[in-house]
Amino acid sequence: MKKITSLLLSLTVVLGVFCACVHRQDPDQVSVPDTTLTEFPILELVQEITLESVEEITQEITQEHTEAPVENTFYLVLGDSIAYGSGLTNPKEACYGKIVADTNGYDYVNHSVPGHTTADLINRLKDEEVAADIEKADIINISIGGNDFLKSDVKQLMTDCLVNKDYTKLNKIAENFYNNLCDIIDIINSHNEDAVILVQTLYNPQEDFLRTAYQMGADRINDKIAKYNSENPGEIVIVDVGKALGADMANYAADKVHPSAKGNEKIARTVLNKLYDLKLGSSTKPVIAVKGKDKK
């Protein structure tokens, strides 16, 4: 635009000079003979400037009125079987990550692996494909921690907690979770400092006496997530899935470990609410492109 303005000013000056020269002549002596443009050098100059600049002007105007393409928000899901959607027979089409992406129109990749612990996720982050997706992600949604308990000696753990009132192993698992969570966030930040990192709390899918034991584990993990958040403000955003699913057994699959179709929809709604609050989402009402089917 500066070039266009400069050119117009130049043309104005040239034409002004030309007009001034003509008006200074005695009107009775001015004649208009047949002549060529070359006999008026000042007009030839105007033509030369115009012809040489028209293409440049056209290109500049086109560039200034052409908007740069807007990149779509990239939503990356990492974690375990919860994030994978293992309570469904059609997880790729109906897990909560897919619902969130469909609702807000995100580009979406899910690198979750059933059975993964925090230690497994650390190794997963070293994968070249995963690392490349982390680098370009705008939002990274993490579900991890449940298998840190479930892959330990669960029966002995419950005996220690419920019968012996010994929480030593439980506390050790929670502490190890915290250390691994710190490493996970550090690795993600080493690839991408700008992505918003959502970390989900653990829920409790059990009933009766088992619910008490599971709650002890979930509470300790959730406390460590809260601790990380308080010690590292702004690094993560907590999504309270534990509170959202609660004690309603309809939110859980028949295996009483994973979210059901209804549970996935409820997690999606919880994530959507958080993203909307962060001004990263356009809606809080889940778009269900494909209805989830519960495993029996």
Q: What is the pLDDT of residue 18?
A: 44
| Nearest partner of 264 among 89, 97, 116, 77, judged by Cα | 97
- Supply the pLDDT for residue 30: 46
Distance CA 99, CA 96 (A): 5
Q: Which of 61-70, 136-145, 146-155 has the highest mean pLDDT?
A: 136-145
**What's the angle, vertex CA 243, arms to CA 237 and CA 248, rounded to 5?**
145
Check: CB of residue 75 under 8 Å from CB of residue 97: yes
- Tell me which residue of 146, 148, 74, 147 sits closest to 111, measured CA to CA: 74
pLDDT recorded at residue 2: 44
Statement: residue 33 has pLDDT above 60: no
Mean pLDDT of 154-183: 93
Q: What is the mean pLDDT of the chain?
A: 85
pLDDT tens, position by position, 175-213: 999 999 999 999 999 999 999 999 999 999 999 988 998
- pLDDT beyond 50 at 77: yes
Q: Confidence class of residue 11 from pLDDT cuts 50, 70 and 90?
A: very low
What is the secondary structure of 193-230 as a DSSP string?
SSSEEEEEPP-----HHHHHHHHHHHHHHHHHHHHHHH
